[in-house]
Amino acid sequence: MTCKYIEPKPSEKEYRELAKLGRELGIPVPECFLEMQVISKGQTLQHYKQRSHSWTRNAYNGLFTQLTAKNYSGATFQGGVLTMKYTNGTIYGPNYAGHILSGINNYAPGNSEGLGSSYRADTGSLVSGIVVGSGNAAEDFNGYALATPIAEGSGVGQLNYSVHLANVKSWDGGTKTWSVSIARYMNNNSGGNITIREVAQYTRGMIYSQFPTLMVARDVLSPEVVLPNSGQLKVTYTIALTYPA
């Protein structure tokens, strides 16, 4: 089955216009795509690709503090406050000098692509990487966790999460675009169908020797994905950035 691109034409047109304007102004515009593939008995049952629309406040606060060497500070998680919110609901915002630039780095020391750090989770781990859920609460810029995460396991309603694949980096010299694909397989050994309605990117941020879990993106799926028993799901996020030179 060929992968079908399902981004609605009106929004795709707007994304392309935004990217074109960024190129003309010399301001790179980051893009993110989400790909879902359902495999059962060696056959692809569902395979589609769309844009990921929902980087969260965590992602943008992390970017801003790194670019500006600004410390995190505050006790709330809202506009005008530079904090991070863990998946357990804890708000991080101590106002003191940070490690390297601002107190958070999305990697384990010396290895930003190592298992258990940043987006690359090990087998069965839900503390980082791509995680899916069954909730369909609306996407929220202030979201900090999946609505209903699907647990690791082979019981009813559970999935076996595989080790993250190695991140695939690619440079297109013609378009001057860097892209990185982040992918993970999940297997349904529960004995029944599992409906997946949401997908998130979790990362482990190194904050003063702590490794909390932060959600930086969450997408509510349309269409939903029904993964049959003994089926396998591959989720891929591809992040791309076109440079002006």
In contact, 102 and 66? CB cutoff 8 Å: yes
- Based on the structure, what is the number of domains in the chain? 1
Q: Could you read off the pLDDT of 56-81 as tens digits, one per residue?
A: 999 999 888 888 888 888 889 999 99
Predicted pLDDT of residue 149: 97
Residue 25 is part of which domain span? 4-242
State how far the alpha carbon of 58 is from the alpha carbons of 27, 153, 157, 180, 238, in Å: 22, 28, 29, 20, 19
State pTM to two decimals: 0.90
Q: Could you read off the pLDDT of 194-232 as tens digits, one per residue?
A: 999 999 999 886 555 556 889 999 999 999 999 999 999
